[in-house]
Amino acid sequence: MQQLISLEFNLFSMIAVGFLLRRMRLMGKEAEGIITDLVIYVILPCNIFNSFLSSGPDTLASDCLAILLVSIGIQVLSLIYGKFAFPKETPDRRRNLAYAMICSNAGFLGNPVAEGVFGSLGLMLASIYLIPQRIMMWSEGLAIYSGVSDKRATVRRVLTHPCVVACILGILVMVLHIPFPDFLKNPIQSIGRCNTPLTMIMIGMLLSNIDLKHLVDKTILIFTVHRLVLMPLVVFLICQLLPVSKTVTGVSTLLAAMPAGATTTMLAAKYGHDPKFATRLVIFTTLCSVPAIFIWSLVLLR
């Protein structure tokens, strides 16, 4: 309990730093894009690769395969839910809700949370978990907004994504027992340690844009319950019935409890499908995810 409270306090403190930086106008809106690119293209890949260096091949053979299969099942469930939920909403809103159910913010927020709760093993499993989501993001997710799905482009985007490349290289190094010299390992570790602080600061900067007067409506509230409560509950109960480890259950449940992905706003704006609603959806679910993650962590670490 003390460790979990300490983790939540650290995360909240870093979020508060980002919030204050934007509110005090010490950093402009352009800084959000710079930090995001830095985390996705440099820091997070280093962090993922380093997680494989500290894990054994026995873990890869069992837990990694298990969490990959669980993640595929979650994506199928999310896709079905997104297509049939909220039938009375406008077409633009339905697109945003369907995409936000498929593509959570597990890649940005989930990695530091999984690492904080379950250590380097949690981060490694989280990186495997995210592969099906990234495939779905650039295929069915993109088709939700554009109406077109380019399979060849999807394969290219997934295989060239820095986090996926880091995951593949990490698996090869671990399985083949490739010796990795300290003069390369040490800087990778140092850069990777920046992941959690910068990610939390970035989330704090996003939350600074909140307009409480028009932030939430009934639809957003219902979606938040589904995204942060019901979806992880279903995943947790199913994992209890499967022959998977406690860590696989914990990481899968935590990542299923992540808020709507930030790409929801970007794609809604690009294709003109109610970007204001998409922004409110992302911000409100992100705000509610802080207590939700704490509660789920308590449940999973019992």
Domain segments of the chain: what residues? Answer: 2-300
- Provide the pLDDT for residue 56: 54
How many Cβ atoms sit within 10 Å of the Cβ of residue 291?
Answer: 11
Half-sphere exposure of 126 (CA within 13 A, CB side): 35
42 with 191: CB under 8 angstroms? yes
Going by pLDDT thresholds of 50, 70 and 90, the confidence category of residue 231 is very high
Q: What is the pLDDT of residues 279-288, one digit of tens each?
A: 889 888 988 8
Q: What is the pLDDT of residues 83-130, one digit of tens each?
A: 888 888 999 999 999 999 998 888 778 888 888 888 888 888 988 898
Q: When comparing pLDDT for 266 and 19, which is higher? A: 19
Q: When comparing pLDDT for 265 and 228, which is higher? A: 228
Which of 150-159, 182-191, 200-209, 235-244 shows the lowest mean pLDDT across its residues?
Answer: 150-159
Nearest to 260 by CA among 203, 298, 209, 205: 203
118 with 145: CB under 8 angstroms? no
Question: Which fold would CATH assign to domain 2-300?
Answer: Na+/H+ antiporter like fold (1.20.1530)
Nearest to 236 by CA among 162, 154, 295, 174: 295
Tokens found for residue 225: 């319950």
Instruction: Taking residues 211-230, report their average pLDDT.
Output: 88
Residue with tokens 């077109």: 148
How many Cβ atoms sit within 10 Å of the Cβ of residue 194?
Answer: 16
Give the integer Cα–Cα distance in Å for 161 and 41.
Answer: 8
* Residue-wise DSSP of the chain: -HHHHHHHHHHHHHHHHHHHHHHTTSS-THHHHHHHHHIIIIIHHHHHHHHHHTS-HHHIIIIIHHHHHHHHHHHHHHHHHHHHS-TTS-HHHHHHHHHHHHSBSIIIIIHHHHHHHHHHHHHHHHHHHHHHHHHHIIIIIHHHHHS---HHHHHHHHHH-HHHHHHHHHHHHHHTT----HHHHHHHHHHHTTHHHHHHHHHHHHHTT--GGGS--HHHHHHHHIIIIIHHHHHHHHHHHTT--HHHHHHHHHHHT--B-THHHHHHHHHTS-HHHHHHHHHHHHHHHHHHHHHHHHHHT-
**Mean pLDDT, the chain, as a whole number?**
84
Angle between helices 111-136 and 195-207 (to 10 degrees): 80
Going by pLDDT thresholds of 50, 70 and 90, the confidence category of residue 60 is low
